[in-house]
Structure 1
Amino acid sequence: MDPPSHKKNFKDKEPVSKVEMAMQKSAQQELKQRQGAENYAFNRVIIELEQQQFHEFCKQMQHPGE
């Protein structure tokens, strides 16, 4: 390969890598948003379970013989 064609190939690859980087960044942002939504939903479920357990505990403390 002669040097001018090498430079041409390098220039052709440069925009592709920028596009790929932009796609990766976009995919990472989408993943981060999805994980945030999943964490929010998971935390909500855990809080509800903790509240149910706390109410059951309170009932047991009010009526220890039952």
Structure 2
Amino acid sequence: MAFAMAISYRGLTLPQSPVSDGTLPKCKHNAEIRARHEKGESISTLAEAFGITEQRIWQILNERRK
């Protein structure tokens, strides 16, 4: 397995530190979803804003694990 990965990444420069895509950490992400919902934003609006499903928003609001 390690050999196959070495071949796959040959010639590529790999980052020396974690790469962030700019998204919030899960705990902050979920806290923001809860706060915005408490202020009156609908589940469908939150799902669209965060790029996740309405079902996942519902799970976050009801503290269900993925």
Shorter-chain TM-score range: under 0.3
Higher relative contact order (CA 8 A, sep 6+): 2
Q: TM-score, normalised by structure 2?
A: 0.25
> Which is richer in helix?
1
Q: TM-score, normalised by structure 1?
A: 0.25
Q: Which structure: larger Rg?
A: 1
